[in-house]
Amino acid sequence: MNAELLLMFTLGCDRAYLYAHPERELTTEEQSRYAAALTERGRGVPAQYITGHQEFWGMDLIVSPAVLIPRPETEHVIETVLAILTSDLRPQTLGNAALAGVRGPRSEVRIADVGTGSGCIALALAKELPNAEIHATDISTAALEIARANAARHQMEDRIQFHQTDLLAGLNIDFDFIVSNPPYVGESEEDQVQLEVRKFEPRKAVFAGPTGLEVIARLIPAARAALIPGGWLVMEISGTIAEAVRGLLAGWDEVQVVPDLQGIPRVARARKKSNR
């Protein structure tokens, strides 16, 4: 798979072309570029950092070592938000128009994506929710540059407002949803993390601190302060911290942990108590 992917990258072609032209020989220049890509991969550099691309929610995104490579399981965060919006559980201030793309009173769902990295979650939600007002934050300036480039690539630069800040600091906006794939790996579990991740993905994107809960423990109260009553927090988590996260969400309504396709607890959703 990797050899094929890197060959497609070297030749700037798709898989169909590779199989349709088995007779095609590489030029000397192509051979040396392919060899260089294979050497990098052999050193453990993830293929996505070599090609500079990763697909997420049907969109081709640019990635660099400044951002986490978007993972397929993070798509469950998007699915969870869309499922809430199409159910009776959506914040009551929002009408049906929030989904239909029709402007009306409070048809704009307000969403914050905390720790946007490549911008994958914010962009997927912008794609699905044409009326949504979307804010994306990251502590890393370099990550935000990639996220902005991805928004521009998909003609969504006007749809997302980017903020370089710690979690939600300084935003002063009432949100209907706060979504996040925060760093949640503990330094104590470092030896269980794939070597490629440890060596090449940004440390601040992966590790939260000694236990893995450090960022989430700050995000939960920050989200409660920034959400409207009845608004939702939707976070990616891991099986290791699922029970501790449930504990931190005591005092929220409708707490649920949704498993991924492998049955591993993956998305925690919780609703801020309404004023009733």
Ligand X SMILES: C[S@@+](CC[C@H](N)C(=O)[O-])C[C@H]1O[C@@H](n2cnc3c(N)ncnc32)[C@H](O)[C@@H]1O
Which residues of this protein are in contact with ligand X, per CB under 6 A? 67-68, 70, 74, 114-118, 120-121, 137-140, 143, 166-167, 181-183, 204-205, 215
Q: How many CB atoms lie within 10 A of CB 54?
A: 22
Minimum gap (Å) between residue 43 Cβ and ligand X = 23
Nearest 5°: phi and psi at 261? Answer: -65, -20
Q: What is the distance, to the nearest Å, from the Cα of residue 119 to the centroid of all Cα atoms in its chain?
A: 6
CB-wise, 218 or 246, nearer to ligand X?
218
Coil, strand or helix: which one is 73?
helix
Q: How many CB atoms lie within 10 A of CB 141?
A: 9
Specify the residue, 10 or 181, whose C-beta has the smaller distance to ligand X: 181
The DSSP annotation for 145-192 comes to HHHHHHHHHTT-TTTEEEEESSTTTT----EEEEEE----EEGGGGGG
**Which residue lies nearer to ligand X by CB, 202 or 229?**
202
- CB under 8 Å to 269, separation ≥6 — which residues? 80, 84, 232, 233, 234, 235, 254, 255, 256, 257, 258
Shortest distance, position 228 Cβ to ligand X, whole Å: 21
Nearer to ligand X, 37 or 146 (CB): 146
Q: Kindly state the smallest distance separating residue 125's Cβ from ligand X, in Å.
A: 11
**Smallest distance from the beta carbon of 165 to ligand X, in angstroms?**
7
Please, what is the minimum distance in Å from the beta carbon of residue 67 to ligand X? 6
SS3 232: strand
Distance, in Å, from the CA atom of 183 to the CA atom of 237, rounded to the nearest integer, reads: 9
In the bound complex, what is the minimum distance in angstroms from residue 159's beta carbon to ligand X?
16
Closer residue to ligand X, CB minimum distance, 138 or 176: 138
Closer residue to ligand X in complex, CB, 139/171:
139
